Amino acid sequence: PLKKVKNANLSVPPPQESKGITPFRLNKDKSSVTITVVGASGDLAKKKIFPALFALYYEDCLPEHFTIFGYARSKMTDAELRDMVSKTLTCRIDKRANCGEKMEQFLKRCFYHSGQYDSEANFAELDKKLKEHEAGTIANRLFYLSIPPNIFINAVKSASISASSANGWTRVIVEKPFGRDSESSAALTTALKQYLEEDQIFRIDHYLGKELVENLSVLRFSNLIFEPLWSRQFIRNVQLIFSEDFGTEGRGGYFDNYGIVRDIMQNHLLQILALFAMETPVSLDAEDIRNEKVKVLRSMRPIQLDDVVIGQYKSHTRGGVNYPAYTDDKTVPHNSLTPTFAAAALFIDNARWDGVPFLMKAGKALHDRRTEIRVQFRHVPGNLYKRNFGTNLDHETNELVIRVQPDEAIYLKINNKVPGLGMRLDRSNLNLLYSTRYSGEIPDAYERLLLDAVEGERRLFIRSDELDAAWSLFTPVLKDLEDKKTVPEYYPYGSRGPVGAHYLAAKYKVRWG
Ligand code: NDP
Ligand code: BG6
């Protein structure tokens, strides 16, 4: 196997390291990059990967010599791939005047090769085609595995044996799920490492590419006012909320094998938690940041079963429209106990966060779509204005809300005097709404992550020890839930979710935001 080809182009200077302060731009040099989307006929490739690649091309972020290959079993010609891809390029870029022209140029750089995922011979054919586009350059290759997890290893094996770069770097982006528990995740890592070095593996968690998640560190470490308050001394609780107003439509088959805890909590929400709670890293270098994230994850208390509530949506009729139950999906067993909703209380047993509940809530088919981080601060000691608030103590504490999506915003709830004679207080927002403050479009998470992978920037990708720590936290409680065949609390499609989540919050004197 060609495992040792990792960054084999030692004579070539490494890609310019970005410290995340300026927009990333590749040096336009003599090297080429080919990006092979393995599983190009699939949903993710169409929905996210090709549009993101086009956006990068449009923004002039891809190197001068780049080529995109789609690879999958489906039979397609280059023209058919281009036709398929062109239908997906409906992103924000469309609004611009020269988009059509750029699209044509982009599509000319897209090619297709049909092959089996476990065939070294088929990947060798791909290799031959890639070489035709790489002639005379240092050939860097990025493979994006956009395929179901059960075929990851076969594809990595065949690609690394037959289609690794001979004189440049070879990197592989791997999509979640990275296993379904500690054991299967470790087995996947071991198998991947038979063919790749750790620094060739880019495990994607697309939430890390979201603008406001990336901004978390800026908010904390680049403003004087937040970091001093960022501890048990001033913070009462932290809430991490993921809510979708649609069900598992079309992905029931995948979802039933994983459930909401593995789909959202163990990765997206836990990654946000780690960035939120980590200590100040030594620098913005990927390893320094990931070292701090691992430390937080390893300081977390094992999750107790009675600190977890699970739910599953049931059908509901509203306004004459019938919304289906999770188990109405033909690809889901009718008696499935898989949770589509979960809430959990987590704790970090270190000096900074001792005793502060981190409440997570994730659900599908709820009443709204949003992802938020809500930080509820403690009461003002001896508050002079207490009687102005009546008995509702919640109304006197500050709350910082980081709205990751939709309508990206950061706002701080403060107590304020209502203008006029007399003394009446209310709660108002100091509001940074991105759409009013910034005119530019916010890039899709996949754009940022793809560019980082091309540039070799690992800050927003998951290292294997982070993954191990994340699974160590969730595996025991998932096993408990599954061994005990815990029945989820049923909630109507489009509702606020199970009442149990409110009892769980109340147990820690918290009210969900
Ligand atoms: P798909 O189910 O659409 O599969 C992608 C391609 O893989 C298919 O077009 C098909 O191509 C091939 N394929 C599918 N099933 C099999 C099989 N059993 N054996 C061999 N080949 C198969 O996946 P998605 O595009 O939805 O997702 C790709 C990866 O990204 C998965 O790991 C998924 O979990 C992950 N992901 C997906 C998200 C999404 O929104 N879709 C979100 C986050 C992660 P062909 O038949 O042409 O070979
Ligand atoms: C994926 C989950 O990782 O994230 C999906 O598998 C979920 O179930 C999706 O819908 C949400 O991503 P986004 O970017 O649309 O919030």
Distance 71 CA to ligand 1 centre (A): 12
Give tens-digit pLDDT for 308-336: 999 999 999 999 999 999 999 999 999 99
Verify whether ligand 2 is closer than 6 Å to residue 263 (CB atom).
Answer: yes
Q: What is the mean pLDDT of residues 48-77?
A: 94
User: What is the SS3 assignment for 352-374?
Assistant: CCCCCCEEEEEECCECCCEEEEE
Whether 339 shows a pLDDT value over 50: the answer reads yes
Of 146, 158, 205, best ligand 1 pocket probe by most atoms within 8 Å of the beta carbon: 146
Whether 87 shows a pLDDT value over 60: the answer reads yes
Report pTM: 0.92
What pLDDT is stored for residue 15 in this prediction?
38
Give tens-digit pLDDT for 470-500: 999 999 999 999 999 999 999 999 999 999 9
ipTM of the complex: 0.97
Nearest to 161 by CA among 198, 126, 195, 132: 195
What pLDDT is stored for residue 113 in this prediction?
98
Selecting among 65, 113, 206, 268, the annotated active-site residue is 268
Percent of the chain, pLDDT > 90? 82
316 included as an active-site residue: no
Q: What is the mean pLDDT of residues 205-218?
A: 97
Residue predicted with more confidence, 425 or 264: 264
Window from 85-94, 143-152, 366-375 with minimum mean pLDDT: 85-94
What pLDDT is stored for residue 410 in this prediction?
98
Verify whether ligand 1 is closer than 6 Å to residue 39 (CB atom).
Answer: yes
The ligand that comes nearest to the alpha carbon of residue 255 is: 2
Distance 370 CA to ligand 2 centre (A): 11
Verify whether ligand 1 is closer than 6 Å to residue 154 (CB atom).
Answer: no
Q: What is the mean pLDDT of residues 51-75?
A: 94
Distance 42 CA to ligand 1 centre (A): 5
Distance 424 CA to ligand 2 centre (A): 43
Helix (H/G/I), strand (E/B), else coil: 158: helix
What pLDDT is stored for residue 313 in this prediction?
98
Indicate the helix (H) or strand (E) that contains 242.
strand 235-243
Verify whether ligand 1 is closer than 6 Å to residue 43 (CB atom).
Answer: yes
Verify whether ligand 2 is closer than 6 Å to residue 408 (CB atom).
Answer: no
The ligand that comes nearest to the alpha carbon of residue 113 is: 1
Q: Whole-angstrom Cα distance, residue 184 to residue 159?
A: 22
Indicate which residue's Cα is closest to atom 5 of ligand 2: 263
Verify whether ligand 1 is closer than 6 Å to residue 248 (CB atom).
Answer: no
Nearest to 361 by CA among 483, 502, 256, 258: 502
The ligand that comes nearest to the alpha carbon of residue 371 is: 2
**Cβ contact 490:314 at 8 Å:** yes
Distance 195 CA to ligand 1 centre (A): 22
Neighbour-count burial of 161, counting CB atoms closer than 10 A to its CB (0-12 exposed, 13-18 middle, 19+ buried): middle
Q: What is the mean pLDDT of residues 73-99?
A: 82
Q: What is the mean pLDDT of residues 431-442?
A: 93
Verify whether ligand 1 is closer than 6 Å to residue 41 (CB atom).
Answer: yes
Window from 104-108, 133-137, 487-491 with minimum mean pLDDT: 133-137
Whether 198 shows a pLDDT value over 60: the answer reads yes
Whether 249 shows a pLDDT value over 70: the answer reads yes
Q: Whole-angstrom Cα distance, residue 276 to residue 372?
A: 12
Distance 247 CA to ligand 2 centre (A): 11
Q: What is the mean pLDDT of residues 381-399?
A: 72
Whether 509 shows a pLDDT value over 50: the answer reads yes
Helix axes 152-163, 120-134, angle to 10 degrees: 50
Q: Whole-angstrom Cα distance, residue 443 to residue 53?
A: 11
Give tens-digit pLDDT for 2-54: 333 333 333 333 333 333 333 344 445 678 999 999 999 999 999 999 999 99
What pLDDT is stored for residue 21 in this prediction?
33
How sure is the predictor about 172, in pLDDT bands with cuts at 50, 70 and 90? very high
Verify whether ligand 2 is closer than 6 Å to residue 134 (CB atom).
Answer: no
What the block records as the tokens of 286 is 């990927």
User: Please, what is the average pLDDT of the chain?
Assistant: 91
Whether 393 shows a pLDDT value over 80: the answer reads no
Give the nearest ligand 1 atom to 254 CA. 34
Window from 10-14, 145-149, 210-214, 338-342 with minimum mean pLDDT: 10-14
Of 245, 268, 372, best ligand 2 pocket probe by most atoms within 8 Å of the beta carbon: 268
